[in-house]
Amino acid sequence: MRRLLDFLIRHINLVLFLVLEGIALIMLSSSHNYHNSVAQGVFGGVVSRINTSVENARSFTRLRQVNRQLAYENAMLHQKLEGTVKVAPATEIKVNDTINKLYYTYISAKVVNNSVNKQKNTFTLDRGLSSGITNGMAVVSPDGIAGVIIASSQNFSVAMSVLNLNFKQSVRLKKTEYFGSMSWPGKNYRFVEVTEIPHHVDVAEGDTIVTSGYSALFPENIMVGTVEGAPEEGGDFLTLKVRLSTDMKKLTYVYIIKDHYKGERLGLEAEAENE
Amino acid sequence: MNKIIKYIILFACLLLLQILLFNNIQFSGYINPYVYVMFIIMLPLGMPEWLVLLLSFITGFTVDMFAGTPGVHTAATVMAGFARPYLLSLNITSEAISASSTPSIKNNGVRWFIVFSLSVVLVHHLTLFYVEVFRFSGFFRTLLRALLSTLFTTFFIVMIELFRSRR
């Protein structure tokens, strides 16, 4: 015991280093629920307040563009859905499906923190549990897909950005309906990759890519982007370079989509798998 | 006492610079400068190792809180703090350096300062970028990111130091 203590004291710096590095790695590995961690409880308020004011300043410089975007979107919605959309409490837009059951609820939110220059990018939204936000909800911008909610606290939520090595989404070519898998290769924030498109499919530059609705994350036909350059061939499948329709660097206002039938669908699929 | 206040101001300035400016600038997918490491570089040369380690931990932890990346910056900064004494003993020049002095261009010369900063930043960035992706696929791309960012971070640190010493 005495010897062990002597040893520890002699190598106090090494021990301290290992302990601190260990804490860092534990923080890293439990990062999925870090929003509930003690540290977040202590610093969370200050940090999100500072992040919010930084983002406020940034979004002010973008107002002109955001206004134009909103006006355009409004005009489009008016044209498309004359009288069919009920605008419920100011911040929620409800969309009815064909047999008049509520299928999706759109909840508007503002981005208060955003990153595009890491390998696992996330962004923070100013709505949380109190607005009914839960993990796994889709986040779209007026231009197309943006991310998926991965953590939420009372008033904020964090979404995994499409610019995240862990982000995967089933997508399809709008023209030919063939589907493939979308992910971000981690290089340029404007481009994602679509793989697993069969070899024989005819793909031209500028073709539109939309979500397929095969995964329970995103509704069908949400804009993803357009094909850029010639498809890359390798094995039986094509790899497409796709320019994201959403400029993730300018993300300001987004919609969080609540899927009212997600639980039922996932439950049934899990049940079928167990059979 | 005066010195401690100076360091607190340096800490705050570097953090603000990092959070408000450098975290919001994107040069390209390959270059992300993290200038807050300068705080670890600027600690007194004779400071006990355990104190350097603790300060590294606090610095990394604070940056993590703001960047929303738990553990990533902490791991990298603690690693840099641990490597610092070894890098110092490699870089020490023939002239005696007083233990309480702060590394600076004025005391140690431009070349010494650049080499020392470069080596601390390199250790920090290599750890940071590999911990961030947490996988070895794309090994060389991560390496390239770390090396390019190291050059830029060192450049900004030397610029800040030049600005500091001119006043």
Query: ipTM strictly over 0.90?
Result: no
| pLDDT tens, chain A, 275 aa long | 778 888 877 888 888 899 998 988 888 877 655 444 444 555 566 777 777 777 777 777 778 788 778 877 876 776 565 444 444 444 555 555 555 566 777 888 888 888 888 888 999 998 888 888 988 899 999 889 999 999 888 888 999 999 998 898 999 998 888 889 999 988 888 999 998 888 888 888 889 999 988 887 888 888 999 998 888 877 778 889 999 999 998 888 888 888 887 888 888 888 888 87
Show contacts of B144-147: CB within 8 Å, 24+ apart.
B144/B30, B145/B29, B145/B30, B145/B31, B145/B32, B146/B122, B147/B122
Chain A touched by B15 (CB under 8 Å): no
Say which CATH superfamily domain A169-246 falls into: Rod shape-determining protein MreC, domain 2 (2.40.10.350)
Q: For B84-133, write each residue's pLDDT tens digit.
A: 988 888 766 545 455 557 788 877 788 888 998 999 999 999 999 888 88
The minimal CB distance from A54 to the residues B20, B54, B56 is found for: B20
Q: Which CATH class is domain A34-164+249-260?
A: mainly beta
Domain of B24 in residue numbering reads as 2-166
How far does the CA of residue A207 sit from the closest CA of chain B (Å)? 26
Write the secondary structure of chain A as one string of H (helix), E (strand) and C (coil).
CHHHHHHHHHCHHHHHHHHHHHHHHHHHHCHHHHHHCHHHHHHHHHHHHHHHHHHHHHHHHCHHHHHHHHHHHHHHHHHHCCCCCEECCCCEEEEECCCCCEEEEEEEEEEEEECCCCCEEEEEECCCHHHCCCCCCEEEECCEEEEEEEEECCCCEEEEEEEECCCCEEEEECCCCCEEEEECCCCCCCEEEEEEEECCCCCCCCCEEEECCCCCCCCCCCEEEEECCCCEEECCEEEEEEEECCCHHHCCEEEEEEECCHHHHHHHHHHHHHC
End-to-end Cα, chain B, rounded Å: 21
Q: Collect all residues of chain A within an 8 Å Cβ-Cβ radius of residue B127.
A: none
Number of cross-chain residue pairs from A and B with Cβ atoms under 8 Å apart: 95
The number of domains in chain B is 1
Nearest CA in chain B to A16: B50
Burial of A132 by CB count in 10 Å (0-12 exposed, 13-18 middle, 19+ buried)?
A: middle
How far does the CA of residue A74 sit from the closest CA of chain B (Å)? 30
Q: Collect all residues of chain B within an 8 Å Cβ-Cβ radius of residue A58.
A: 24
Q: Which amino acid is at A15?
A: V
Report d(CA B66, CA B111) in Å as an integer. Answer: 33
Contact assignment for B68 to A16 by CB distance below 8 Å: no
The minimal CB distance from A27 to the residues B32, B66, B70 is found for: B70
Residues of A with CB under 8 A from a CB of B: 12-13, 16-17, 20-21, 23-31, 34, 37, 39-40, 43, 47, 50-51, 54, 58, 113, 115-120, 122, 124, 158, 165, 186-189, 249
Residues in chain A: 275
Chain A touched by B144 (CB under 8 Å): no
Asked if the domains at A34-164+249-260 and A169-246 fall in one CATH topology, the answer is: yes
Residue where the block lists tokens 């070519």: A173
Q: What is the CATH number of the domain that holds B35?
A: 1.10.1760
Say whether pLDDT at B136 is over 80.
Answer: no
What is the DSSP code (8-state) at residue B22?
Answer: G
Chain A touched by B72 (CB under 8 Å): yes
* Residues forming beta bridges with residue A158, ordered by sequence position: A124, A151
Beta strands at A223-227 and A144-152: parallel, antiparallel or unpaired: unpaired
Contact assignment for B71 to A26 by CB distance below 8 Å: yes
- Residue A82 is predicted with a pLDDT of 46
Assess contact for A139 and A256: CB atoms under 8 A: yes
Burial of A269 by CB count in 10 Å (0-12 exposed, 13-18 middle, 19+ buried)?
A: exposed
**Model confidence pTM above 0.90:** no
Q: Show the beta-strand stretches assigned E in B2-85.
A: none
Tell me the domain boundaries of chain A: 34-164+249-260, 169-246
Contact assignment for A113 to B61 by CB distance below 8 Å: no
- Residue B99 is predicted with a pLDDT of 56
- B77's CB contacts (< 8 A; 6+ apart) are B37, B40, B56, B57, B59, B60, B63, B124
Contact assignment for A31 to B74 by CB distance below 8 Å: no
